[in-house]
Structure 1
Amino acid sequence: MKNFIYSFLLISLIACAPSSSQEVSTEKPKDFNGYWYAGEAEISSYRLEQARYGEIHAGESVLVFVTEPFSKDKQVKLDDWRDQSSDNVSVMKLNMTKKFLTGIYPYSMMMSTFTPVSANIYPDPFKVTTSSQEWCGHTWMQMNLQDEEYRIRGFSYFESEGDLDVLVPNAILEDELWTRIRMNPENLPVGKVDLFPSTFYLRLRHRPHEVRKADAKLVALTSSEYADDAHKMYEITYDDRSLSIYFESTFPHTILGWEESYMSGFGNPEMLTTKAKRINTIKSAYWGKNNNKDREIRKELGLSTQ
């Protein structure tokens, strides 16, 4: 019993803790390890203007980036970060959340992407998971890399979507672009690309889970509403959708904001644009800050405390 309790406590303590391994390719800057393997996550808050039901709704978004030890075979976070086997692969994890109200009822959405740090060895994300909750019900989707394909399993309260279990060809995932920017934006794909759309977009637009032909470009900018100094924009366009991500040109390539435009649907043919602009960025071992007094940190991020 004592061993069980000890094991439980150990797992609880490391449940969200970052990786201590340092699998960094030679393409990354020399301060990469010092920033991403310092025992903290990077948390950025954003003021969100979300398009939904033909209108723009105020809300908030958070991007949490952290490195973690990941099992490439089981495709889950390893309980023991000290595992020295070849199964232990360091990944850059992104947890992206969106919270906004549509009239009387709230939306709460979350997407997680697990991208290997050593892209020269493991070029593709291992896994993406996405969930959405609102008063009508909730949905869940998971993508797992299997050889040259992704297995997609999804569960929805919509009859037309139902339970999903399909294979799609390996392609660039729109959801991996955020982690690619943080690790090395110069390696972002440009030109004509095969792209699997954002899982948030697929959920909100009820679109089929298929690879699309997209145009991608990386542009150097000198000013915009997202920053006063030099920065860059990465843009992709396909179907009725475009996404522009604004980020700092220099390491650690903090994401300053984004814009995404598409037809709002549900009988409204108008093209609307979702916008997110950064409020603040902090480094924190947030998994240990779970007491009532720690709510003060949310004020630093400009986030609601209730």
Structure 2
Amino acid sequence: MKKALNHYALLIIILGFIITITSCKHTPQKKETVKNHKNLTKPKNNAAQQSLSKAFKGYWYAGEAEISSYKLEQARYGEIRQGNAILIYVTEDFLPKAQVKADSQNPNNTSVLKLNTTKSFNTGIYPYSIMQSTFYPVLNNQHALKVSVSMQEWCGHSYMQLNNKNNFDITLHSYFEGEEDQNITVKKSILENELWTQVRINPKSLPTGILEIIPSFEYFRLKHIDIKAYKANAKLTNNTYTIQYPNLNRTLVIHFTPDFPHKILGWEETFKSGFGSKAKNLTTKATLLKTIKSDYWNKKMKIHKNLRDTLQLN
């Protein structure tokens, strides 16, 4: 009798262990499942919630990124520099609380359309490398959840990151005196970085009129101005979006195809470049070279170098 009770107790322990393990598992979600975390972000003034069309899901949830290469004419130090720019758009599952890409699917994920923008150009003897990342919810009714920029050149490197919480929490690390390690809180406003992704989701939802916009993180690093929102005037035509910052003497024009998937054809950015009295208005230009769809994260062997030829990057 005692031996039978011991077997029964052991069976109860094993069953309890199995139930505990099973209860910790999450049911995987389909990639196109989206979730709105209103506690982390506030609705944008001109952006209505975006329903995902069949065409949108078919294009952006096919397990590939869209990679576009551009001929770059970059204004820097009062001269135009030749280089290249790349826009990489890809959907990802994002963890709003941890503010990082999710390794697995679970109900707490937010589906984002991520944009990585890179620029490479030389200034005389030494090179510049700039990269920006923007994580923007595909529902198109929230601000970007995270934005970052890194800049490397021979004098040093800097990094700036925004995390969308109760406010915009920004950290800055720089080699410049007066810009060392900083923590900055900025009131929520339209982010120029997020507008590049909003174009791809629904250009008709782009904000227009007299607005307060936080300029691109790249511009903050190149010009070393106060990190805040600036007065702007935004206009939208059939396939062009223009932002003018009167107090910065800066204008950004983005050209895109009017039909889905609203590919970025190029852009111009005019601002004062150079030092002191010799500074003058110059225009940075980017012209589309080639667009491909690719799971580039699986294309890391020598045999895949030909894709760089396809993108006209060599």
Question: What TM-score do you get using the length of structure 1 for normalisation?
Answer: 0.86
In structure 2, what is the Cα distance between the partners aligned to 1:159 and 1:194?
29
Report the counterpart of residue 187 of structure 2 in structure 1.
169
Q: How does 1:124-139 map to 2 (within 5 A)?
A: 124-139=143-158
Spell out, residue by residue over 1:139-177, the C-alpha distance to the aligned partner (whole angstroms, 9 max, x if none): 000000112x10010000000211110100100000011
Report the counterpart of residue 198 of structure 1 in structure 2.
216
Report the counterpart of residue 249 of structure 1 in structure 2.
258
Report the counterpart of residue 261 of structure 1 in structure 2.
270
Q: How does 1:68-147 map to 2 (within 5 A)?
A: 68-80=92-104, 82-83=105-106, 85=107, 87-120=108-141, 123-147=142-166
How far apart are residue 23 of structure 1 and its match? Answer: 2.8
- Contact 1:22–1:33 (CA under 8 A) maintained in structure 2: no
- Contact 1:264–1:272 (CA under 8 A) maintained in structure 2: yes
Unmatched runs of 5 consecutive residues or more in structure 2: 1-29, 36-48
- Select 1:235's aligned residue among 229, 235, 242: 242
- Contact 1:70–1:89 (CA under 8 A) maintained in structure 2: yes
- Contact 1:260–1:275 (CA under 8 A) maintained in structure 2: yes
In structure 1, what is the Cα distance between the partners aligned to 2:32 and 2:300?
26
- Contact 2:252–2:268 (CA under 8 A) maintained in structure 1: yes
- Select 2:80's aligned residue among 56, 64, 70: 56
In structure 1, what is the Cα distance between the partners aligned to 2:125 and 2:59?
41
Report the counterpart of residue 4 of structure 2 in structure 1.
none
Spell out, residue by residue over 1:209-262, the C-alpha distance to the aligned partner (whole angstroms, 9 max, x if none): 011110000012xxxxxxxxxxx1100011211000000000000000000000
- Contact 1:155–1:164 (CA under 8 A) maintained in structure 2: yes
1:151 aligns with 2:155: no
Unmatched runs of 5 consecutive residues or more in structure 1: 1-18, 221-231
Distance 1:28 1:250, change over 3 A: farther
Supply the AA of the counterpart residue of 1:140: Y
In structure 2, what is the Cα distance between the partners aligned to 1:190 and 1:28?
23
- Select 2:236's aligned residue among 200, 205, 218: 218
Supply the AA of the counterpart residue of 1:281: T
In structure 2, what is the Cα distance between the partners aligned to 1:63 and 1:154?
24
- Contact 1:99–1:107 (CA under 8 A) maintained in structure 2: yes
In structure 2, what is the Cα distance between the partners aligned to 1:237 and 1:197?
11
How far apart are residue 28 of structure 1 and its match? Answer: 4.5
Supply the AA of the counterpart residue of 2:155: C
In structure 2, what is the Cα distance between the partners aligned to 1:136 and 1:262?
23
Question: What TM-score do you get using the length of structure 2 for normalisation?
Answer: 0.83
SS in 1 for 2:306: helix
> Which structure: greater strand fraction?
1
- Contact 2:50–2:140 (CA under 8 A) maintained in structure 1: no
RMSD: 1.3
In structure 1, what is the Cα distance between the partners aligned to 2:62 and 2:211?
35
Report the counterpart of residue 31 of structure 2 in structure 1.
20
SS in 2 for 1:31: helix
- Contact 1:28–1:184 (CA under 8 A) maintained in structure 2: no
How far apart are residue 46 of structure 1 and its match? Answer: 0.2
SS in 1 for 2:170: strand
Residue range with higher mean Cα deviation, 106-115 or 27-36: 27-36
1:287 aligns with 2:297: yes
How far apart are residue 293 of structure 1 and its match? Answer: 1.3
Supply the AA of the counterpart residue of 1:289: K
How far apart are residue 26 of structure 1 and its match? Answer: 5.2
Supply the AA of the counterpart residue of 1:262: F
Q: How many residues align?
A: 269
- Select 1:30's aligned residue among 54, 67, 72: 54
Distance 1:28 1:215, change over 3 A: farther
The structure having more radius of gyration, on CA atoms, is 2
Task: Report % sequence identity.
Answer: 51
SS in 2 for 1:153: strand
